Amino acid sequence: NAVIGRYKLSVQTTSSGSSSPAILGTFVLLFNPWSSGDDVFMPNKAECEEYVLEEFGIIFAGNKNHINSFGWNFGQFQGDILNICLSMLDRSLNYRQDPATDVSHRNDPKYLGRVLSAMVNANDDQGVVLGNWSGNYEGGKSPSSWTGSGEILQNWKKSGFKPVRYGQCWVFAAVLTTVLRCLGIPTRTITNFSSAHDADGNLRVDEFYDASGNHLDRSADSIWNFHVWNESWFSRSDLGPSYSGWQVLDATPQEESGGIYQCGPASRNAIKEGDVDLDYDCPFVFAEVNADCMYWNYEATTGKKTLMFSKSTVIGQFISTKAVGRDDRVDVTIDYKYEEGSTKERDIFKKARKKLGLEDKFDPTAPTPQEIDQKPDISGKFKVAGPLEVGKDLSLILVLENLQSDAKTVHVNMTAWSTVYTRRPVHEIRKDSISATLSPKEEIQLPIKILYTEYQQQLTTDNTIQVTALCLVEGGIQVLVQRDIILDNPAIDIQVLGEAKVNKEVDVEVIFTNPFDTELMNCVLQVEGNDLLRGILEIDVPPVKASEKSSTKFKLIPFETGHKHLLVNFSCDKFADIKNFKMVNV
């Protein structure tokens, strides 16, 4: 239970009555998950290896229909990282306000986890990373261009501790993973798909649409395609043994807690059991995985809002993390909540609402029971008819079905917008309206084609398009049909040519095929990998002609044995950040 940090070691020798101290040097004391008395003790050795010693990770992204992943270089044991982590502690608001008290709490992982969740974002304290979700990243690096934490932490120090531009949720989570693993606290990244950002603390997320089907920015609430946070492993002496184990920390600046942008530690067991009255920030994390969604139509001229539908099973799906010792995805949804739609899950939701005092309070913004029970006359969905790839036209089918035994006339207003992964609309791509009459019980299919030339200039680096159809049924209620579509970048392949041995050169080839009928310009390949090369290698790749294959070769001289990971990132004028990684056995 000693305070972590830098210690000075000296020895005192006494001879014939006079004593003289000699300084032997300094050492840094860390948390020790291998020691059974430590707050961070983790009995499983393989988990200690993964969550403290492993310098490579996989982060999951995309959306619930289309999970993708990319490698990340945590690099917690490289060069200057430990010094930078210690200086983060000395730059926190807590240290600046009261150094002695702050240092005396540095034996407590829950204290440090909370302080560091604030220090990783730039809000309040000139922390490490500045967030930007606008889709425009001028004046910095786009969040999707980073491949590791080392460059970010080094840049922060080199600039005299000015926030590094720019990050989004996975960047904050990855940097926090690096810092906590470096200090000896077992930590991993967690991705939650369809993640709620409940700004007003009512465990409900409201989304508003206008009559044309445009997603309106009327509510501070939002549903992100995915959100990445951290779990760290330590005991909760403040709450009791049943709340020990994995604790949620979130360094993404979403809502203030205690007056600053920090979040956690929230006990994962407390979230699952609906114990939202426990420290810290449990209601916010509970809402991220459990909130109910309300979709409203909003009439700007009258200010009237009409509930289109509500769903209690949308939020918190496919909660994912990397497997221990393997490069696979593990689903941990069941550790956050009971099975969706089960009575137990609904009971926990009611328990949480009750603890927050939401059950008894009249909420004027809540839908009425009549609104919730109303039944639509038609149903609809978007089907994908063709490849979902950047550079190809996007073919969709809007399927509408008449659920009634009399004919229905439907007016459909459709929009397509490019968005960032938080589903924030950035550029309008298309706007259409069509009308159709459906015979009783009839299903019709309306083909929709969005050309590459239409969306090419509008796409953000997230490659995400949100299509919305607002269907107005004559004499009935409105039906909202929506789909978030992620377009895949072309693939990139890595080949290690020969056996990798310590201090011996080995050739690596990176192969990329241009799927376009035009030449790709400004091609750059970025390569990094702990113990395989020092720093980041940047290679200018010659222009790649239409449909041609490009091959780039470079040499590595590995300097450590073991399983190492090489990460590559390819960008050009038509694509940003095509990533891949390769395990290299040295």
What residues act catalytically? 169, 227, 250
Whether omega for the bond prior to residue 280 falls within 30 degrees of 0, making it cis, is yes
Helix axis angle for 169-182 and 81-90, nearest 10°, is: 100
In this structure, are residues 388 and 485 in contact, taking their beta carbons and an 8 Å threshold?
yes
In this structure, are residues 227 and 248 in contact, taking their beta carbons and an 8 Å threshold?
no
In this structure, are residues 281 and 267 in contact, taking their beta carbons and an 8 Å threshold?
no
> Taking the CA atoms of the chain, what radius of gyration do you get in angstroms?
26
* Nearest Cα residue to 30 out of 78, 77, 94: 77
For tokens 């938080």, the residue is: 422
* Nearest Cα residue to 164 out of 116, 128, 119: 128
Q: Taking the CB of residue 101, how many other CB atoms lie within 10 A of it?
A: 10
Burial bucket for residue 276 (CB in 10 Å: 0-12, 13-18, 19+)? buried
The amino acid present at 44, given as its one-letter code, is: N
The amino acid present at 477, given as its one-letter code, is: I
Q: Taking the CB of residue 516, how many other CB atoms lie within 10 A of it?
A: 19
Structure-token pair, residue 507: 């050739």
Q: Is 556 helix (H, G, I), strand (E, B) or coil?
A: strand
Structure-token pair, residue 316: 């918190």
Furthest C-alpha separation in the chain: 110
In this structure, are residues 507 and 553 in contact, taking their beta carbons and an 8 Å threshold?
yes
Q: Is 167 helix (H, G, I), strand (E, B) or coil?
A: strand
Distance CA 525, CA 569 (A): 6
Q: CA 134 from chain center: how many Å?
A: 16
Distance CA 104, CA 106 (A): 6
Sequence-separated (6 or more) residues with CB below 8 Å from residue 317: 64, 192, 193, 194, 333
